[in-house]
Amino acid sequence: MKNNTEGKSFLTEQELALGCARKERDAQGELYARYAAGLFALSLRYIENREDARDLMHDAMIKAMDNFKSFKYTGDGSIWAWLSRVTVNLAVDRLKENSRFRQISLDEVSGVEIENALEPDAESVRVIPDDVLDDMIAGLPPVKRTVFNMYCIDGFSHKDIARALGISERGSTSILTKARASLKKALTDYLNKTGL
Amino acid sequence: MKDWEEIIKERQLSRKAELPESDWNDFLSRKAEHERAAKRRHRILAAAISIPAAAAVLMLLFLVPFNTDVPDNQVSQNEPSEQPVIADSVDVNPVDSVTIPADPEPEKPVVKEAKPVKQLYAQDQQPDSQVEWVEMGDVAQNENLVAQNHSVTGAIYDFDSAEPIYSAAVMVYRVNGADTVYVGDGGTNDDGEFRIDKLEPGNYVANAIHYGFNDAHKSFTIHPDIATTDLGKIAMRGDQSLMLSEVAVSAVVAKVQMSNDSVMFNSAAYKLPQGTSVEDLIRKLPGVQIDSAGDVTVNGKKVSRLLVNGKEFFNDDKTVALTQLTADMIDKVKAYENQSDLDRQTGVVENEDEEELLFYLCAEHPMIVLNGQFADIDESKLATCNIWNNKVRKRDLARLLGIPARKIKSVKVYDADSAMRIWGEKGAHGVISVVTGK
């Protein structure tokens, strides 16, 4: 299924959206073939365990397919934007169920020194291998990682983050600042070590 | 965002994680399970309807034992009414959905389905997405084209060092008379510059926040003719309170503060004679209406629960709370939408009517003094804790202060008069003094 749809993806995004809104099985299959791998990668940024992340992606897909009528097509890329929002919101809810996430969040908000590490060189960051970069982001504590992912990668605003995580906007900005500082340090350390 | 962050974003977004070969089938079985569960709920509902119906028929049989025609009729009427439910559930056959994908052939319908749509663009190799889009009849983009094309820019810097502040957040609120409504936010780059797009002409306030700094406010107006409004440089002062033990809070309070899910009214902003009832106060609030039965609606939405100082008042009898309480007892009125769990997860509001609207009325809470020092309390827990009367519970205090209840050794409640004699202005709403032991 997955392999032989590559050549057939001539459906435009809008036609695909229309099919999914009518709950046509074929359109749903096509939706899955196009977006599942990307959403799985997104899920893995939030939930490390591969099986849990895959379950999350499946649940998000089911939820999206059930509620596709509420999706509004506003140009190319809008399906991905919508799917990723559904998935991230679901991921945040899963994370919040985890009591560890709540406990740690309190410690993190209280003052940790923000280090003023040097900005890592952008071109060097480009050549860091995928798995190393993944490990660095995964190495951030859960709350910092979630805020960083939501703001810097998946394009959520502080307002949305504050609402999803049940923290204040100010809390969200300060967690982000700390997450950036931690990641910057990890990047610079790695680049110094490997001499890139 | 910095260069390296842009690169991480770009790289992360282009990633595709490898899924196991069996993934599509795994997904379908999960989906089928989900549909079966939904169907089960459907059946339980159908059973719940049909059991009382059957019981009613039996009752009739016993009550009218001689007139056999009537119950016969009823039974035959009842049966067809149940059938659509069963027929409906058979329609979504989970077995069917599992077999389709295993076989490569059923993919063909995609081609068949797509062909007629394709023919629309047969003459034109590249369908114009704009035209396509208008066919959908969606108006969202049109609105954007008309009004929301204005932007605001500016730069944030540190007042003390004159250095630009990176990663500060700038929130923009639209000001409409006494109301402020959140419209968008943005972050600052290396040079402290920010830009917020998609604004309509009107009056706004920008609020810059950053860790370690006091908030900076700036009002501005967007004129219809000027596409980009530049606010110039905005200074932020370092937050001295981070270094001192005491925090001085000062704020200019608007009459109404609105965000997406809640509306807060500050009753102090409405000048009313003493003894005015809460009902009269509420009538003055914009967007709030009370009908003759005492039901309150906020922006057309009915309030389902009314809480006074964090508790239901007089067994949730709204009229008592509204007519018997006086406005000077109330300092804040807050309307808050309680979304259903599903809506919160998807971020998509499916059924607007199902949202629960809570209405809090509360007085300024008494200050809490912990071992002789004014303590910070967790404001978010106030809604469910009662600290407004003399019967304060240790458990509530412990929750607000974030300490274990068993550590609390003694609690003393001071009324406003005696509290003001000891603590001055700060005791204006009473003081609860808590002493902890080991």
Identify whether residues B59 and B38 lie together within a single domain: yes
**CATH code of the domain containing B151:** 2.60.40.10
3-class SS of residue A18: helix
Q: Is A169 on the interface with B (CB under 8 A)?
A: yes
pLDDT range class, residue B97, cuts 50, 70, 90: very low
Mutate to test the interface with A, among B1, B6, B103, B110 (most CBs of A within 10 A): B110
pLDDT band per the 50, 70, 90 thresholds, residue B71: very low
The pLDDT, as a whole number, for residue B381 is 61
Share of chain A above pLDDT 70, in %: 85
The rounded mean pLDDT for chain A is 80
Name the average pLDDT for chain B.
Answer: 67
Domains in chain A, CATH or no CATH each = 1-97 (1.10.1740.10), 99-196 (1.10.10)
For testing the chain B interface, which of A84, A105, A135, A153 should be mutated: the one with the most B CBs within 10 Å? A153
| DSSP 8-state assignment for residue A149 | I
Percent pLDDT > 90 in chain B is: 1
Torsion angle (degrees, nearest 10) of CA B269, B271, B276, B279: -40
Q: At B219, list the tokens.
A: 């009002």
On whether both B225 and B181 belong to a single domain, the answer is yes
Confidence of residue B407 (pLDDT cuts 50, 70, 90): confident
B5 falls within a domain: no
* pLDDT level of residue A196 (50, 70, 90 thresholds): low
Which stretch of A57-66, A92-101, B142-151, B266-275 has the lowest confidence by average pLDDT?
A: B142-151
Nearest to A62 among B8, B34, B261 (CB): B34
Judged against a pLDDT cut of 50, whether residue B116 lies above it is answered with no
Is residue B137 in a domain? no
Query: DSSP characters for B291-344?
Result: -TT--EEETTEE--EEEETTEESTTT-HHHHHHHSBGGG--EEEEEEE--HHHH
Question: A174 and B211 in contact by Cβ < 8 A?
Answer: yes
Beta strands B296-298 and B311-312, pairing class: unpaired
**What pLDDT sits at residue B316?**
56
Q: Are A180 and B5 in contact (CB under 8 A)?
A: yes
From the CA atom positions of chain B, what is the Rg in Å? 31
Q: Is residue B117 part of a domain?
A: no
A32 and B24 in contact by Cβ < 8 A?
A: yes
pLDDT exceeds 70 at position B268: no
* B365 in Cβ contact with B432 (< 8 Å): no
Distance CA B336, CA A112 (A): 34
Confidence tier at B378 by pLDDT (50, 70, 90) = low
Last residue of a domain, one of B220, B242, B264: B242
- Mutation for testing the A interface, residue in B14, B18, B19 having most A CBs under 10 Å: B19
B191 and A CB contact within 8 Å = no
Residue of B nearest to A34 (CA): B16
Higher pLDDT, B88 or A85: A85
For residue A189, pLDDT over 60 is answered with yes
CB-based contact B383:B360 (threshold 8 Å): yes
Indicate whether B264 and B237 sit together in one domain.
no
Domain count, chain B: 4
In a domain, B15, yes or no: no
Number of other residues whose CB lies within 10 A of the CB of residue A2: 16
| Whole-prediction pTM | 0.44
Q: Give per-residue pLDDT as tens, A142-163.
A: 888 899 999 999 888 888 888 8
| Mean per-residue pLDDT, B412-436 | 78
**B251 domain residue, yes or no:** no
**Predicted local distance difference test score (pLDDT) of residue B336:** 65
- pLDDT at residue B404 tops 50: yes
- The better pLDDT of the pair A75, B179 is held by A75
Q: Give pLDDT, residue A4.
A: 42
> Residue B256: its pLDDT value, please?
64
Task: Find the CB nearest A173 among B3, B31, B169.
Answer: B169
Residue where a domain terminates, one of B362, B388, B416: B362
**Quick one: pLDDT at residue B399?**
78
Residue B131 lies in a domain: no
- Is residue B358 domain-shared with residue B260, that is, in the same domain? yes
CB within 8 Å: A159 and B185? yes
Selection from B106, B109, B111, B112 nearest residue A9 by Cα: B111
Residue B252's pLDDT band (cuts 50, 70, 90): very low
Tokens representing B118 are 């394709």
- pLDDT for residue B348: 57
- The nearest CA of chain A is from the CA of B276 a distance in Å of 35
The reply to whether B276 and B372 lie within a common domain is no
Asked if the C-beta of A27 comes within 8 angstroms of chain B's C-beta atoms, the answer is yes
pLDDT digits (tens, 9 = 90+) for B150-180: 889 999 888 878 888 888 888 888 887 767 7
Most confident of B83-87, B241-245, B369-373: B369-373
B68 Cβ contact partners less than 8 Å away, ≥ 6 residues apart: none
d(CA B156, CA B169): 10
Q: Is there a domain that residue B12 lies in?
A: no
Taking an 8 Å cut-off on Cβ atoms, the answer to whether A173 and B168 are in contact is yes
Question: CB distance from A127 to chain B under 8 Å?
Answer: no
> Within a domain: residue B119?
no
Task: Give the model's pLDDT for residue B130.
Answer: 40
**B192 shares its domain with B229:** yes
Q: Is B350 on the interface with A (CB under 8 A)?
A: yes
| Sign, Cα dihedral of B308, B312, B313, B316 | positive
CA–CA distance, B198 with B183 (Å, rounded to integer)? 9
- B153 and B238 in one domain? yes
Where does B339-381 show beta strands of DSSP type E?
356-362, 367-370, 373-374
Residue B40 CA to residue B34 CA, distance in Å, equals 10
| Other residues' Cβ atoms within 10 Å of the Cβ of residue A104 | 15
Q: How far apart are CA B357 and CA B12, in angstroms?
A: 39
Measure CA of the first residue to CA of the last residue in chain A; give whole Å.
Answer: 42
Q: State pLDDT tens for residues A93-142.
A: 888 777 556 544 444 444 445 555 567 887 888 888 888 888 888 888 88
Would you list the DSSP string of A112-136?
-PPP-PPPPPHHHHHHS-HHHHHHH
**Mean pLDDT across the stretch B258-274?**
64
Same structural domain, B229 and B284: no
- Does A59 touch chain B if contact means CB atoms closer than 8 Å? yes
pLDDT, residue B263, reads 65
- List strands edge to edge, sheet with B305-308: B216-222, B202-209, B169-176, B179-187, B256-258, B262-266, B332-338, B356-362, B305-308, B311-312
Whether residues B156 and B237 fall in one domain: yes
pLDDT of residue B367: 81
B16, A159: Cβ pair inside 8 Å?
Answer: no
Strand B296-298 relative to strand B288-290, pairing: antiparallel
Nearest Cα of chain A lies from the Cα of B263 at a distance, in angstroms, of 15
The residue in chain B having the minimum alpha-carbon distance to the alpha carbon of residue A62 is B31
Residue B68 has pLDDT above 60, yes or no: no
Together in a domain, B228 and B265: no
Q: Helix count (H) and strand count (E) of chain A?
A: 10, 0
Of the two residues A83 and A110, the one the predictor is more confident about is: A83
> Bridge-partner residues for B213, per DSSP?
B238
pLDDT of residue B275: 67
* Chain A nearest C-alpha distance from B389 (Å): 29
Interchain contact B161–A (C-beta under 8 A): no
Query: Does residue B356 sit in the same domain as residue B373?
Result: no
Residue B99 touches chain A, beta carbons under 8 Å: no
The CA-atom distances, in angstroms, between B265 and each of B148, B179, B258 are 28, 10, 9
Answer whether B114 touches A (CB < 8 Å): yes
CB A89 to CB B347 under 8 A?
yes
- The sheet that has B296-298: what strands, in order across it? B288-290, B296-298, B301-302
CB contact under 8 A, A74 and B184: no
Nearest-angstrom CA–CA distance, A31 and A28: 5
Residues B234 and B327 in one domain: no
**Mean pLDDT, residues B20-27 taken together:** 84
Least Cα distance to B104 among A175, A3, A68 occurs for A3
Q: Which of B105, B121, B136 is the last residue of a domain?
A: B105
Domain that holds residue B179: 145-242
CB-CB contact of B298 with B265 (8 Å): no
Q: Residue B383's pLDDT is what?
A: 57
More confident residue, B43 or A75: A75
